[in-house]
Amino acid sequence: MTTPRDEIRRQLRAAAADQRVALPRFRRALRRATDPEGGVSSHETAALLGVPHSRRGFLRIGGLGVAASAILVSCGLDNPPEEGITYTGEMPGESTATVPAPQIGSALDSTLLLTASSLEALAIAAYDAALEGGWFDGNRTLIDVATLFRDQHAEHFEAVVAATEAAGVTPYTDPNPFLFDNVVGPAADSIAALVPEDQPSATLDLAYQLEDVAAQTYTSAGGLFSTSELRSAAMSIGAVEARHLSVILGAQEAPAAPFAFGRTVNAVDEAAFITTDGPVTPSEPAPATTSTTAGS
């Protein structure tokens, strides 16, 4: 029996096949990007290589790499692929071609929606922790901005939940367990242990990581959702996450628009997906507590 998770993995394999087709283009793009005469800026070279712009630690969670980068697109293909979602196999010069039906479907839509709501819930939890923990050391502006962003993530969460319900799928309303266990939880532990004057910087780093994952995931979803309605809905949110990123970068005194194209290398990995079967990677169980009893 094919489970929804099997369908998701089939579609991801199809997307991976699309990536394999894109690899020759990537190699050509890489040659062009690293050629001093290639006319590609260092910003774009860094983006193509997935090199982050900031000296601070960043989290590379892994990518659902869809070949949406314009550098890849601009390189095109030498030969039509044997399989893929948009290519007909006809050589250039043919006047017409029928666009094949995309392999993207409702199962992937569901996964993207469920994962998106988990990301929004995660962001809400992280900003709440920062605000309640006083991690901005009384900086009123950072507090106001964090409050605004938290509230906006709450609106995003509601919108994604509504879209999920409209698709006939039970929404996922908890913070993403994989990212909580591997990113936010450990970061929260670390920040809480810092002296107050060091907490704002570390909190901004965490906020950057979360917003970056969210923005890149929505950018990726913009090319993966099966309908134009879902794609535009995704980017109505994704563009705001990108704005959040710019504001945070400004607070970190870093370039606020460093790349010519949005990236997807840090979009959530399959391990962080939420499917209609639930999280691909469930939460870690809480450690068992040992108790002692008075000697008898």
Partner 1 sequence: MLPRRPTRPDLLRRLTAEADHAHQVGMASLPGELEVAHFGTDDALVASRRQFLTRAGTTAIVAGAVAVPLGVVAQSAWAQDATTTTSTTAAPGPDCDASPVTMTASDEQIVVFAESVERAAVAAYGLARANPALGPAARESARIFEGHHDQHGEALRCLVAGNPQDPNAALVAAFGPQLEGARTEVEIIELLRQLESAAAATYLAALGQLETPAVAGAASTIMPVEAQHEVVWSQYLGLPVTAYVPAFQSTDGAVAPA
Q: Which of 158, 189, 173, 188 is nearest to 279 (CA)?
A: 173
Angle of helix 199-221 versus helix 106-132 axis, rounded to 10: 170
Q: How far is the CB of 169 from partner 1 (least distance, A)?
A: 20
Residue closer to partner 1 by CB (options 36, 295) is: 36
Residue closer to partner 1 by CB (options 198, 284) is: 284
- SS3 assignment, position 279: strand
CB 74 within 8 A of CB 8: no
**Rounded Cα gap, residues 162 and 173, in angstroms:** 11
**Around Cβ 59, how many Cβ atoms within 10 Å?**
18
Residue closer to partner 1 by CB (options 114, 244) is: 244
Residue closer to partner 1 by CB (options 6, 155) is: 155
Residue closer to partner 1 by CB (options 263, 275) is: 263
Q: How far is the CB of 53 from partner 1 (least distance, A)?
A: 6
Q: How far is the CB of 148 from partner 1 (least distance, A)?
A: 6
Q: Give whole-number Cα distances, 44 to 32, 47, 221, in Å.
A: 11, 5, 21
Buried b or exposed e, range 242-251, using 16+ CB within 10 angstroms: bebbbebbeb
Q: How far is the CB of 28 from partner 1 (least distance, A)?
A: 7
How many CA atoms are closer than 13 Å to the CA of 278, on its beta-carbon side?
A: 4
Q: How far is the CB of 114 from partner 1 (least distance, A)?
A: 20
Q: How far is the CB of 171 from partner 1 (least distance, A)?
A: 18
Residue closer to partner 1 by CB (options 170, 240) is: 240
